[in-house]
Each structure stands twice: as C-alpha cells, then as structure tokens.
Amino acid sequence: MSLSPALTKIQSYRQALDALLIYGNMFGDPVGEGFRALLEALLQARATTCLQAYGHWFQALAWAEETWSSHVVRRLIYADNPFTRQVQTRSLEQLPPALVQAVCSDLVNLQYLHDLDGGEVSTWVQEIADLPAPPVAWVGASPTPLPFEFAPDLAWVDGLSSLAHHYRQQGVGVFGQYRALRWQAQALEGIPHPDPIRLAQLTAYDRPRQDLIQNTLALLRGYPALNVLLYGSRGSGKSSLVKALVNEYYRQGLRLIEVPRAGLEDLPEIMDHLRPLPQKFIIFVDDLAFETDDAAFKALKVVLEGGLTARPDNVVVYATSNRRHLVPEYFGDRPQPRDQEEVQAWDAVQEKLSFSDRFGLTLTFEPADQQTYLTIVNHLAQSAAITLDRDQLTAQALQWATRHNGRSGRTARQFIDWIRGQG
C-alpha cells in the first residue's frame, strides 16, 4: 500500500534524523525530542496523538523563543561530538577520512531538516488529524541571535571549512555557548547572563588594570602568563576588572570559570578537564581567604606551585582578596624564645605569610581617596549621560559616600545608579 504524499515526506524527515552519524545527539533537547515524537505520531496517523505531540513541540519552540530553523543552526554550532572536539586542534586533512565523510553526510541531512517550514508541519497535522483548518504554525518568531550563519544559497557541506574554523575559534559545547562558567556540583555550568561590565566602564587604578590586561593578552597569544592576586580595599573594582576581561576578549577564545572556595579542592580535576582544549581560561576565585589547615588552601598551593603535573599553558588563576596575607596568623602562632622548636615554629609562620607570594603577580588596589572617588563618579556619570551640574554632582557624591559605605568604586556605582533611578 503506497503512502500519501504527506506521509512520504514525513517519513523522509524521520529518516534524515535517524541517519545522523556524528550529530545524532544534537536533538536530545526538548525541541528536538518534541520534533521526533511529532514525526512518530504523524506516521502512526492517530489524530489525538498527533495534536498532543504538535502541542508539545509548539510549546517547546515557544519556550526556546526560536524557530525550528534557527534551533537547528544553534544546536549545530554548539554541538559537542568527536568531530567538533578533534577539529579544534587538527585540520580537516588530518582527521580520519571516514569521520569527515560522515560529517558531510550529516550536513546534507541537517540542511534538509533545517529547511522544513513550520507551516508545512501544520498542514501535515491538519491532514492526518482531519481538521477543518491547520493549527497555528510556529513561524515568524524572532530567531535567537547566532554567532555563525551559513550563506542562504550555499550547500552546508560546502561550508565545512567555515564551520570547522568556527569550532576552532569559539569552542564547542558549553565553551562555545558560554563565555563565563562556574564549577558547581562537580561539573562546569554555563552562566547565561554574566555581568556585562566592560573595560571602558572602569576608571582609576590604571597601573594594576594595565598589568592585568597585559598578562591576559600574553595568555591569549600563547606566551607564559602568571597567576595573579588582586589585593586591596573592598569595592575597588577588583572583581569587576576580572569579569570585564572575558567580555572584552571572549571572541579571541577567552573563557572565565568561577570556582568557589569550597570547590578549590577540585582544581586538579578542573585543570585536567581544561588542558586539552584550545581556548584560554581564567580560573576566577573571588574574595579568597583561608582558615588554618584548610584543605582548599593546600589544593590551591599545589596548583600555584606546581606538583608532578605541570600547570596547563592555557589556564591561569586570578584571585581577589581584601587581605594581603590570605591565611590568618595569630599571636599564639608565634614562637616564644623558650620554645625548643623555635626554627620549625617560625617556618610554620612564614608558610602562612608567604602564601600570597606564590602568585606570580600581585596587584594592589589602594583605598580610594577623594580625588579617585570623584574621578570614578564623573566617569560613570558621563557614561550614563547624566547631565547634572558638575558641582552639584560632586556635592551629592561626597554626601552619599559619607552616609553610606565610604569612598570606593562600588559606592560610586551605587550613587550613579541612585541618580539614574531619580529620573
């Protein structure tokens, strides 16, 4: 018994899905699973099942806020599979020929799936479910902005070199999709909405800022880069500076990984995970301080000093702290002249005091004096297009600092946000 034209078409899309050799795992999300379930329901030609499956797929697209076509492309450019992993460090010519052939075959099928219009799917449902009119089609929604697009008139398989270049430059999986990540529950988790602070928004502290930028550029260019401790008064912009770096240089392959103090014991595991990747990584530890005999202290010490396993060339540690000596020293720790273990006791004290020296570069952020504070206020006011009279702005800024948290970059930003909120 011959199939109807609609069922024949539906079956061809199901075969295109099943034929994916390398990119088969890219439809394991709600939209992809919903599409697969819809095709299965349509092939079974059961009206109620078709309508329910169509509703689930429609809702998945609505939640994702993208069309089916843009969804296919987005999943393609972030795909994590043997090809995307290997092509980041090797040319197409160096890859196994069978792997490249499989990818070419997949691209043909993926382009076929991509070109499916939501309106056509709607007419399939109308025919199979015997409806008087087709259900609402998911078309015309604004697609999710994509960092890579195939030319509309180009066969995808002909764009393989461009796609491979994109994987090399931007990464794959979570490293392609996110510029900032955090280590949580023994895994890397992307941060969908990282702090958007940019270097141009920061002022004052020119010397430490320039030193940190130069060190980061050395990392990106493949030169030796140092681990850095950013030490200084609270609210001076240490954390903002580190966050601004990834917003400035993520298109050059820079990624930021936030590791909480409780996760420092996992640093060796994190390093091993990042070592083979082509991207460059900043391990960011904010507000760093330790207690005596802290296991996290020992783990970070091993990473900074280097154990039997060398530190990856593509990873640096940037830590911020409000205190110069990261491990507290107490008067009770100091040896007394009568102690017979005087040498060993002083060694223990020096071990604590010298921990911060294990960072290759220490950048100091002094407390903001009045001139520095007002410089930051004026810079932020100009960026925010605040037209308040200069003398009036200065008077209100000084009053704000007195009544709130003192002079600092954080206080200046809070003041400007308050001014903006007044309309």
Cα–chain center distance at 74 = 16
Asked whether 227 and 360 are in contact (CB, 8 A), the reply is: yes
The pTM of this model reads 0.78
Closest CA to 164 of 42, 79, 66, 258: 79
Strands 187-190 and 180-184, by their bridges, are antiparallel
C-beta atoms surrounding 83 within 10 Å: 25
Backbone angles phi, psi at 202, to 5 degrees: -100, 140
Q: Name the helix (H) or strand (E) containing 345.
A: helix 342-353
Domain edges within the chain: 5-144+151-173, 180-365, 370-421
Q: Name the helix (H) or strand (E) containing 316.
A: strand 315-321
Side chain identity, residue 75: R
Q: How far apart are CA 110 and CA 157, in angstroms?
A: 10
- One DSSP character per residue, 37-104 reads HHHHHHHHT-HHHHHHHHHHHHHHHHHHTS-HHHHHHHHHHT--SHHHHHTTTS-GGGS-HHHHHHHH
Asked whether 38 and 58 are in contact (CB, 8 A), the reply is: no
Neighbouring residues of 422: CB distance < 8 A, sequence distance ≥ 6: none
Neighbouring residues of 184: CB distance < 8 A, sequence distance ≥ 6: 260, 263
Among all chains, which residue has been given the structure tokens 């911020």? 320
The pair of three-digit structure tokens given for residue 412, joined into one six-digit string: 């200046």
- pLDDT for the residue 200: 87
Q: Can you give the length of the chain in residues?
A: 423
The pair of three-digit structure tokens given for residue 109, joined into one six-digit string: 């099928």
Question: Residue-wise pLDDT tens for the chain (423 aa)?
Answer: 456 888 999 999 999 999 999 999 999 999 999 999 999 999 988 888 999 999 999 999 999 888 999 899 999 999 999 999 999 989 999 999 999 999 999 999 999 999 998 999 999 999 998 899 999 998 765 655 666 666 667 789 998 998 998 898 888 999 999 999 999 888 899 999 999 989 988 888 889 899 999 999 999 999 999 999 988 877 778 888 999 999 999 989 999 999 988 888 888 889 888 998 889 999 999 888 756 556 666 677 777 776 656 778 999 999 888 765 555 544 444 455 555 454 444 444 444 445 667 788 888 888 777 888 888 888 888 877 887 878 888 888 888 888 877 787 788 888 888 888 876
- pLDDT for the residue 386: 81
Q: How far apart are CA 375 and CA 96, in angstroms?
A: 58
- pLDDT for the residue 250: 92
- pLDDT for the residue 342: 47
C-beta atoms surrounding 175 within 10 Å: 23
44 SS3 class: helix
Q: Choose which CATH entry (3.40.50.720, 3.40.50.1100, 3.40.50.1820, 3.40.50.300) describes domain 180-365.
A: 3.40.50.300
Closest CA to 288 of 280, 275, 279, 299: 299
Measured at the alpha carbon of residue 346, what is the angle toward residues 345 and 348, in degrees to the nearest 5? 65
The pair of three-digit structure tokens given for residue 62, joined into one six-digit string: 């609505």
Radius of gyration of the chain (CA): 28
Q: How far apart are CA 206 and CA 137, in angstroms?
A: 55
- pLDDT for the residue 395: 85
